[in-house]
Amino acid sequence: MNCIIIDDEATSRTIIGELCSNYNNLNVVEVFSNAIEAIKYLNQNETDLIFLDIHMPDFNGFDFIRTLKNPPIIILTTADADFAINAFEYDCIVDYIVKPIKPKRFSKSIQKVEAKFNEEISRATSKKNNPSVNDDFYVNINKRLIKIDIQSIYLVEAKGDYIYLKTDNKNYTVHSTLKKIEEKLPDHMFLKIHRSYIININRIIDIEDNSVLIEKDIVPVSRSNRPELMKRLNLL
Amino acid sequence: MEDQPNLNYINSLSEGDKSFEMKLLAIIKKEFKQEKNTYYNNTKNNNFKLCAENVHKIKHKISILGLEKSYEIAEQYENNLREGNYELQNKFSDILNKVTNYLNKL
């Protein structure tokens, strides 16, 4: 995890840097003595974790957090326990450590960060691979934006500059490309089996030679895509 | 009994790394001296708010040096300053002297 330290006390920055050096997965990329410099840095760069002092002149730690659109994981470091209650207002704050920071207390804090970090990675992966029942996208048809429930799609066919979307409820002709729609569809559910066809593999009824029966449509399977299709089937 | 400064916390951080201990102590000495001077200047100008900010920074060093009772006094003094009074000022000056003497001997 890349991290930055923001603290107006050199002593604190040195101590936190030393504590971080005991962890192979923590990489202190930058240290800042004021929040303004850190904001400038974060406008150009990303970080996974911030060690943030609350009590700084001019621009305190909470002011700083409010400037961030997508705050990373934050550990507050402070000489006061008084501000702890404010920390609960921010989801990005995983811990609140009172100075002087003891190695054991720091270790607990890093465990919390790791748990949160892994949880976020897992959530992002899960969202890509397992869309919820409500996951959908909108298509533009005759100047109307129509919501398409992803799980209702069983076949997508490319037809020149258009794609033909077949769903449980209705079929749609949309001005788009197979490549564009492929990006919107979850990998675990959909597979391109031919240069002109994407199918919902959960809807396959049977496969015969180089074609697939999906609902009432017979769809060709290209020779190059057949191995991947066979791999994805739950064969007995 | 009056508490005495010590290096227990710094030792627990360094785990025997003498170069880190030296580096950290050099930073503490330099920063403490600056903060102390700024604090005394602000007391001359009766700037309670800035004095409180200075005490806030200094009290971290007090706790690093294991001065638990002194830390409590510093904390109370910081609160007093925020309320606009100098109660505990003399006691805080004694603490500053104690820390200064200790750091000078290191």
| ipTM of the complex, rounded to two decimals | 0.93
pLDDT at A126 over 70: no
Instruction: Spell out the residues 6+ positions from residue B48 whose beta carbon is closer than 8 angstroms to its own.
Output: B81, B82, B84, B85
Phi-psi region of B88 (alpha: psi -120 to 50; beta: other; left: phi over 0): left
With cut-offs at 50, 70 and 90, classify the pLDDT of residue A128: low
pTM of the model: 0.68
Mean pLDDT of A149-158: 93
Which residue from A minimizes the CA distance to B35?
A: A9
Question: Are A11 and B24 inside 8 Å of each other by CB?
Answer: yes
pLDDT for A209-219, tens place per residue? 889 999 889 99
Which residue from B minimizes the CA distance to A79?
A: B60
DSSP state of A99: S
pLDDT for A86-98, tens place per residue? 777 788 999 999 9
Tokens standing for residue A21 = 């050096």
Question: Are B24 and A12 inside 8 Å of each other by CB?
Answer: no
pLDDT at A129 over 90: no
Phi-psi region of B29 (alpha: psi -120 to 50; beta: other; left: phi over 0): alpha
Of the candidates A28, A11, A21, the residue with the CA atom closest to the CA atom of residue A79: A11
Mean pLDDT of B69-85: 95
Mean pLDDT of A132-153: 83
Bond prior to A100 in cis (omega within 30° of 0): yes
Q: Judging by DSSP bridges, how do beta strands A93-98 and A73-78 pair with one another? A: parallel
CB atoms within 10 A of CB B24: 21
Determine the Cα–Cα distance for residues A52 and B54; give it in Å rounded to an integer.
19
Under an 8 Å CB criterion, which residues of B touch A?
A: 9, 12-14, 20, 23-24, 27-28, 30-31, 53, 56-57, 59-61, 63-64
User: Residue B23, class by beta-carbon neighbours within 10 Å (0-12 exposed, 13-18 middle, 19+ buried)?
Assistant: middle
Question: Are B24 and A9 inside 8 Å of each other by CB?
Answer: no
Mean pLDDT of B47-63: 94
Sheet holding A49-53, edge to edge: A27-32, A2-6, A49-53, A73-78, A93-98
- pLDDT for A133 equals 46
